[in-house]
Amino acid sequence: MYSSLLLFPVKLEGKKIIVLDETLLPFKEGYIKVDSLEKALDVLGSMKTRAFGQVLLFFYCCALFDSYSIAEITQRFKETRPTFDFELLAALLEREVSGSKDILESVNKFIANFDFLRRRRMSRLAALLPNPAKVLTICNINGELIYLYEELKKLSKECIFYVSETRPYLQGTRLTFWELRKNNIPAYLICDNQAASVMKDGKVNCVVTGADRATTKGDIINKVGTYALARLAKYFGIPFYTLVQYPKDIDVSSIVIEERPSSEVFMFLEEGSAGIDAVYPSFDIVTSNLVTKQINILGQ
């Protein structure tokens, strides 16, 4: 049986939200108790959780901290991480709540259904990938590559992953490579700049990435480094697949790209970085002309 802590990195225990501190992995499995909105925002802003974790954190905050409206919580989350679409989450939640009136019940229902949907999404992707599937990926898709591996196995397809380390936070190394290897799934780690080399040598035959935002036209916003992969994949004739949630009919260029502090660029380095000025755009835009197929959470 395959598993990953990252499939559900945020959980609810009584009146407290328990957040897996992803910045400690793989060295330590540590958790943070969140009992206020301020604490939740601190956890979010300091990247202790991200991706699906921030979805869960948002939903649980809406369920627990009822002195704030969903709109207020949305605004505070958006101010903390401006690129992610918390307004979309709020709309999904409002729609669920309107039927049952109980936010927590709605949240639990939504989460259970989401897990079913993401597994089904991987089943659709597995059918599209070649045999053997030699998959290049970046950042971390919260355990979903494990689902992909299981689905490929069901189809008797061989699979190997190449994981781009994803500087500066190293989500590729610390999260994706770690969770795949913990499950004994064949995976190789590469430096981000080796992508062209593994493509040229035929070590990969497809690219699979998640997306923080997506448009109905097929554009995505995802971790910085994704654009280079898409552009290079196009050059080498390698298909580029994106896993998205709920695409919106919006102009991708209107989305604010979060820039994080310079100091974070050096956070995992041993060397001193005094006096060095760095840029840190967190996300890349990848336009639809570089995307072979967008697979949304509804499996379409």
- Please identify which of the residues 21, 102, 201, 212 carries the catalytic annotation: 212
Tokens for 237, please give them.
Answer: 């004739």
We find the least distance from the C-beta atom of residue 259 to other proteins, in angstroms, to be: 6
Give the residue with the Cβ less far from other proteins, 71 or 191.
191
Query: How close are the terminal C-alpha atoms of the chain, in Å?
Result: 27
We find the least distance from the C-beta atom of residue 29 to other proteins, in angstroms, to be: 14
Handedness of CA 128, 133, 137, 142 (dihedral sign): positive
Give the residue with the Cβ less far from other proteins, 80 or 173.
173
Give the residue with the Cβ less far from other proteins, 126 or 229.
229
Q: Say whether 212 is catalytic.
A: yes
Give the residue with the Cβ less far from other proteins, 95 or 200.
200
Q: Is 194 exposed, middle or buried (0-12, 13-18, 19+ CB in 10 A)?
A: middle
- DSSP characters for 102-132? -HHHHHHHHHHHHHHHHHHHHHHHHHHS-SS
Residues contacting residue 145 through CB under 8 Å, at least 6 positions apart? 135, 137, 161, 176, 179, 180, 185, 208
Site of interaction with other proteins (CB under 8 A): 26, 138, 162, 164-168, 170, 173-174, 177, 181, 186-198, 200, 203, 224-229, 231-232, 235, 259, 262, 265, 268-271, 273, 275-281, 284-285
Q: Is 31 exposed, middle or buried (0-12, 13-18, 19+ CB in 10 A)?
A: middle
Distance CA 44, CA 47 (A): 5
Give the residue with the Cβ less far from other proteins, 22 or 284.
284
Q: Cβ(176)–Cβ(204) under 8 Å?
A: no
We find the least distance from the C-beta atom of residue 89 to other proteins, in angstroms, to be: 26
List residues with catalytic annotation: 212
